[in-house]
Structure formats: structure tokens, C-alpha cells
């Protein structure tokens, strides 16, 4: 059985929360309007600190039909984006980074089922991308899709390797805060074009971060400054 799946957009999404050391670097960067090199490296996920998924995309909820089969959500990564808040409406407060690396993409692979192919047994292992509406890719807007990170047939994950073919990625790199369900973007970089936020709201959050006492951290060295 041969598959050739094409979607636009497709590509990669990375997401994570800044730890306390990175928050301090962000404060320095906001003052100087020069992004610290360690924060720049987040775009490549060099240390593996960000959640990441790459592939073509589909749209829908678990159990819906995707591109070629049924959408099933990944058991290891529940979503790419901030977790929901305690009230179940909106997002958890915090300082975050997102990288949207998108383009027209396709994947090609073959596999041979033991018996006649049954499309009802074919599943697309997917990770929902759920971001605040303010987080937008310059070309594709707010991401409202799932990244397909693998495939299953008859309950077994396919081991066939495939390459993601793209037409050149457009990369949106954002650092932002969520506080009281309001999103403030501090830094945007689209294809190496930088933009800093000098709004009164951004400066107010910056001042609150500067005035915090960084004395305690959890075991993961990840301190949420807004909790």
C-alpha cells in the first residue's frame, strides 16, 4: 500500500515554558532589545527542552477522519501549547516560547498489511496545536490543526520510515506571557525579522518580573513567575 499525503501547512511546531534562568535572560534582552544567544538557541531545541512534533497536519478531534485514516491523539504529548487554566476557560499563566516552522509539506511511505487493506484500521497519531489567538504565523495565521507524528494500522504503529518533504519553511519564533488569560507577546521573529513589544502592558509585566525575588525553584528548575 502506497501513501502520498500532502498538506498546507505542514512542518514542525515546538513549544515550552521558560525556566527561571531563561526568564532572567529575557529580562536582560528586553532591556537591551538584543535577544540573548541562549534564548536564540531555543529555535533549534538544541537541549531538547521543548515539546516538538513534525509532519503533515490534519484537522479534527480524536475519532474524526483525518487525511487517510482516523485521528488518534498521541499518548506521550497531549498538546503543543499552554495548558488550560483551573477554570477550564483559557490558558495557564506563564512565560512561553513557540516556534511555528511551516510550509507546504508531504510524506510518502509504503507498507504491506497482512490482509486486504481496511481504511477503518488506519490511524493518524496526532498532536493538537492549541495556542492563544494572538500567536499567529505570518503566512498561515493562528495554528488550529494537529501535527501527524506517525501512523498505526490495526493498532500497531508503522515502522516504515518517511521523510517530510517541504518547499522551504517560514519560521515564526515568539516569546510571550499569559497573565489573567491575557496574552502579551514580548518578542517575535519571522524569517529573521525581529519585532520587540514596547507597549505599556509589556513594560508593566517586565517591571513585575524585575521586582520578583528568585529564591525558590522546583525540581525541574522551572518557576512560573505568575503563580
Secondary structure (3-state) at 21? helix
Model pLDDT, residue 112:
87
CB atoms within 10 A of CB 23: 20
pLDDT tens-digit series, residues 89-101 = 789 999 999 999 9
Average pLDDT of the chain to the nearest whole number:
90
Q: Is the pLDDT of residue 23 over 70?
A: yes
The DSSP letter of residue 87 is T
Residue with cell 488550529: 144
Burial label for 8, CB within 10 Å (0-12, 13-18, 19+), is: middle
Encode pLDDT of 177-205 as tens digits.
998 889 999 999 999 999 998 888 887 88
Confidence of residue 223 (pLDDT cuts 50, 70, 90): low
Helix 20-32 / helix 200-210 crossing angle, nearest 10 deg:
130
3-state secondary structure (DSSP) of residue 70: strand
Residue 57 has pLDDT above 90, yes or no: yes
- Report the pLDDT value the prediction gives residue 87, as an integer from 0 to 100: 77
The CB density around residue 102, as the number of other CB atoms within 10 Å, is 23
Better pLDDT: 56 or 161: 56
- Where residue 131 falls among pLDDT bands split at 50, 70, 90? very high
Least Cα distance to 196 among 22, 14, 16, 29 occurs for 29
Q: What is the pLDDT of residue 178?
A: 92
pTM (predicted TM-score): 0.89
Query: For residue 217, what pLDDT band results from cuts at 50, 70 and 90?
Result: very low
Residue 20 pLDDT: 87
> Using a CB cutoff of 8 Å and minimum separation of 24, what contacts does 219-222 make?
220/19, 221/19, 221/20, 221/21, 222/17, 222/19, 222/20
The domain limits of the chain are 8-210
Q: State whether residue 211 is helix, strand or coil.
A: coil
List CB contacts of 36: < 8 A, sequence separation 6 or more. 25, 26, 28, 29
Q: Residue 224 has what pLDDT?
A: 61
- Residues 199 and 217: their CA atoms lie apart, in Å, by 29
**Which 3 state secondary structure label does DSSP give 106?**
strand
Q: How far apart are the first and last CA of the chain?
A: 51
Percentage of residues of the chain with pLDDT beyond 90? 69
pLDDT band at residue 160 using 50, 70 and 90 as cut-offs: confident
Rounded to an integer, what distance in angstroms lies between the CA atom of residue 167 and that of residue 64?
28
d(CA 122, CA 222): 39
Where is pLDDT greater, at 208 or 45? 45
Amino acid at each position: 500500500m502506497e501513501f502520498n499525503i500532502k498538506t498546507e501547512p505542514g512542518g514542525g511546531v515546538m513549544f515550552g515554558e521558560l525556566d527561571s534562568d531563561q526568564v532572567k535572560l529575557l529580562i536582560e534582552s528586553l532591556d537591551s532589545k538584543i535577544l540573548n544567544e541562549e534564548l536564540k538557541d531555543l529555535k533549534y531545541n538544541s537541549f531538547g527542552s521543548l515539546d516538538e512534533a513534525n509532519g503533515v497536519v490534519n484537522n479534527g478531534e480524536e475519532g474524526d477522519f483525518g487525511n487517510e485514516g482516523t485521528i488518534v491523539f498521541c499518548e506521550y504529548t497531549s498538546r503543543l501549547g499552554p495548558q488550560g487554566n483551573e477554570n477550564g476557560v483559557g490558558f495557564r499563566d506563564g512565560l512561553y516560547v513557540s516556534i511555528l516552522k511551516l510550509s507546504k509539506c508531504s510524506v510518502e511511505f509504503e507498507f504491506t498489511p497482512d490482509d486486504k487493506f481496511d481504511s477503518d484500521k488506519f490511524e493518524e497519531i496526532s498532536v493538537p496545536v492549541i495556542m492563544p489567538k494572538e500567536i499567529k504565523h505570518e503566512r498561515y495565521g493562528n495554528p488550529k490543526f494537529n501535527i501527524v507524528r506517525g501512523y498505526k494500522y490495526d493498532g500497531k504503529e508503522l515502522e516504515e520510515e518517511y521523510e517530510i518533504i517541504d518547499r522551504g519553511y517560514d519560521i515564526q519564533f515568539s516569546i510571550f506571557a499569559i497573565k489573567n488569560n491575557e496574552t502579551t507577546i514580548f518578542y517575535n521573529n519571522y524569517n529573521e525579522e525581529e519585532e520587540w513589544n514596547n507597549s505599556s502592558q509589556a513594560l508593566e509585566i517586565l517591571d513585575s518580573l524585575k521586582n520578583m525575588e528568585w529564591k525558590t525553584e522546583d525540581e525541574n528548575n522551572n518557576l512560573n513567575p505568575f503563580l
